[in-house]
């Protein structure tokens, strides 16, 4: 349950680690949109403010001319109008008409050739009306600000919408952008750039669209830009933030991995556990099936965590082997065995101690030196040691394997084939390695059911082992029927729950002492002598 929870956490962590990378695009999109809309709005506001300013400038020029002129279309009036135009920022013309548009006079004494683009519209807060007109010689439309006098005459001031030209506006427009000026009624006044439809496309997310109203005037300025055009300017930011996001993601991933190392597989702590002697030897008695006496033990291990949890080897042994940690682990176990069983071994010279080696041990000769360093000058003699070859991984019949085996043989120790009949071993190959003991795997022992009279595979294994001249130890004996069957087939040594599980050193020593002091105590182990004992 705890393991599953941490798996889920790790998976979440790994997924979350990629959030920064995935969100970079989204964040920069949002940032670019926000920033661009802001700057576009400012530009458009400036344009509409200019229109508004121009209109109010025209209004004040017009009011001044009306106020200063005692009558219209006199030379005095023309003079006043001309001066007003010259002094104004951008008013171009002043015109007096009747209500039907018949021109009476203007500031320069000619006909004012202009065509209306719109009717005259009222402006809130002003007595003047405003209309849009076009002069033939000007591309920029103009505003016609008109005051009606006495219901019979109209006097108007003309001012371009903006001081700039249509061309100059177009030049400053990015590709794909659209700028237009329209009346609030929707009537188009000026359109520059791409033929975009503000009303139809302005709300779409692939466009940036802003608009601004020219004060109280019925005029609006609108601007549209494909988002992709604006976004292209943020490519540098993309690169920068992607790098940043990658760094953050990598950091998060690293944290997740570190969490995984700490929490998931307990094996990740194995190195520390070995250093702290938390991998403890447990001793499983090997029993003589004929006498019930103690033959010796197999050294198994448990991980005793400081919190009291005891981890069986199945959880960490594969990792230990794959990581190369099996070698220091075995060293640590052997040192503890020397300490635990020294006295007992000295008292009982026939006691056999079986130690599991791994495939990795057979790849360099160091293990022979290690065995010498630990058991040389110890109460445990080399000939009390049996080294088990476990074949979780295939052993190569290489020079190194052979020299490890012959090195251990030279010390007087013996070699056992563990879990025989499973894994990669085959018995013919075992013969070439010089194995002394064959440990029959529990799966063959399990085949012995109550009342069974023969188990061909097991019987075959036993026969082959005998042919090879090997001692036999049966593993995983759990029932009396199994013990009796094995004994009937000439198997003398056995280990398993029917006798004892792997025991802590204290319990094992107690059991050993009890068995050794019993009448049917420790006896010779060879098959021949057993038969003699039997016959006796």
The residues that touch Mn ion, with contacts defined as CB under 5 A, are: 356, 388, 418
Question: C-alpha distances in angstroms, 476 versus 379, 461, 463, 465, 483?
Answer: 30, 16, 19, 18, 10
Nearer to Mn ion, 190 or 416 (CB): 416
Nearer to Mn ion, 128 or 340 (CB): 340
Q: How far apart are CA 26 and CA 28, in angstroms?
A: 6
Closest CA to 32 of 240, 243, 234, 236: 234
Nearer to Mn ion, 88 or 356 (CB): 356
Longest dimension (CA), the chain: 159
Q: How far apart are CA 527 and CA 295, in angstroms?
A: 13
Nearer to Mn ion, 155 or 299 (CB): 299
Q: How far apart are CA 420 and CA 458, in angstroms?
A: 11
In the bound state, the residue with its beta carbon closest to Mn ion is: 418
Q: What is the DSSP letter of 456?
A: H
Nearest approach in angstroms of CB 1 to Mn ion is: 31
User: What letters, b where the CB count within 10 A reaches 16 and e where it falls short, cover 249-273?
Assistant: beebeeebeeebeebeebbbbbeeb
Nearer to Mn ion, 321 or 418 (CB): 418
Task: Say what angle helices 505-517 and 326-347 make with each other, to 10 degrees.
Answer: 30
Q: How far apart are CA 245 and CA 458, in angstroms?
A: 62
Whether the CB-CB separation of 418 and 313 falls below 8 Å is answered with: no
* Nearest-10 Cα torsion for 379, 499, 327, 400: 90
Nearest approach in angstroms of CB 11 to Mn ion is: 36
Question: C-alpha distances in angstroms, 524 versus 76, 514, 517, 527?
Answer: 147, 18, 15, 9
Q: What is the DSSP letter of 266?
A: G
Nearest approach in angstroms of CB 328 to Mn ion is: 19
Nearer to Mn ion, 56 or 384 (CB): 384
Whether the CB-CB separation of 385 and 415 falls below 8 Å is answered with: no
Nearer to Mn ion, 340 or 418 (CB): 418
Nearest approach in angstroms of CB 364 to Mn ion is: 21
Nearer to Mn ion, 69 or 332 (CB): 332
Nearer to Mn ion, 354 or 378 (CB): 354
Whether the CB-CB separation of 530 and 290 falls below 8 Å is answered with: yes
């Amino acid at each position: 349950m705890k393991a599953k929870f941490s798996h889920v956490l790790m998976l979440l962590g790994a997924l979350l680690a990629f959030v920064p990378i995935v969100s970079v695009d989204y964040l920069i999109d949002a940032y670019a949109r926000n920033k661009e809309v802001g700057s576009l709005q400012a530009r458009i506001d400036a344009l509409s403010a200019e229109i508004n300013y121009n209109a109010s400038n025209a209004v004040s020029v017009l009011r001044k001319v009306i106020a200063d002129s005692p009558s219209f279309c006199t030379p005095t009036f023309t003079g006043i109008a001309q001066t007003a135009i010259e002094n104004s920022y951008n008013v171009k013309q002043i015109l007096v008409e009747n209500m039907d548009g018949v021109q009476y006079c203007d500031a320069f004494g000619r006909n004012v050739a202009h065509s209306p683009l719109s009717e005259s519209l009222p402006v809130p807060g002003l007595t003047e009306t405003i209309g849009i007109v076009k002069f033939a010689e000007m591309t920029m439309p103009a505003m016609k600000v008109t005051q009606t006098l006495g219901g019979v005459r109209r006097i108007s001031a003309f001012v371009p919408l903006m001081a700039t030209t249509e061309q100059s506006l177009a030049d400053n427009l990015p590709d794909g952008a659209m700028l237009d000026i329209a009346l609030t009624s929707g009537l188009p006044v000026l359109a520059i750039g791409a033929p975009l439809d503000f009303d139809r496309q302005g709300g779409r997310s692939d466009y940036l669209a802003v608009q601004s109203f020219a004060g109280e005037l019925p005029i609006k300025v609108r601007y549209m830009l494909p988002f992709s055009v604006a976004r292209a300017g943020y490519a540098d930011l993309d690169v920068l933030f992607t790098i940043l996001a990658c760094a953050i993601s990598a950091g998060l991933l690293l944290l997740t991995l570190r969490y995984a190392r700490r929490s998931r597989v307990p094996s990740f702590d194995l190195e520390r556990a070995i250093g702290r002697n938390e991998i403890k030897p447990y001793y499983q008695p090997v029993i003589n099936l004929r006498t019930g006496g103690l033959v010796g033990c197999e050294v198994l291990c448990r991980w005793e965590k400081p919190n009291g949890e005891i981890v069986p080897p199945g959880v960490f042994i594969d990792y230990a082997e794959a990581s190369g940690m099996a070698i220091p682990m075995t060293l640590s176990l052997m040192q503890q065995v020397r300490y635990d069983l020294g006295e007992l071994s000295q008292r009982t010279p026939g006691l056999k101690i079986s130690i599991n080696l791994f495939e990795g041990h057979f790849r360099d000769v160091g293990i022979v030196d290690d065995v010498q360093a630990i058991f040389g000058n110890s109460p445990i003699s080399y000939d009390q040691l049996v080294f088990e070859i476990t074949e979780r991984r295939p052993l190569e019949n290489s020079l190194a394997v052979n020299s490890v085996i012959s090195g251990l043989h030279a010390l007087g120790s013996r070699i056992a084939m563990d879990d025989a009949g499973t894994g990669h071993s085959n018995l013919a190959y075992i013969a070439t390695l010089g194995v002394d003991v064959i440990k029959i795997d529990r799966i063959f022992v399990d085949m012995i059911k109550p009342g069974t009279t023969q188990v061909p595979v097991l019987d075959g294994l036993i026969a082959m082992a005998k042919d090879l001249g090997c001692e036999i130890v049966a593993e995983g004996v759990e029932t009396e029927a199994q013990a009796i069957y094995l004994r009937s087939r000439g198997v003398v040594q056995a280990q398993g729950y029917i006798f004892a599980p792997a025991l802590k050193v204290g319990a094992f020593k107690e059991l050993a002492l009890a068995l050794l002091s019993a009448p049917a105590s420790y006896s010779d182990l060879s098959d021949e002598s057993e038969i003699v004992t039997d016959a006796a």
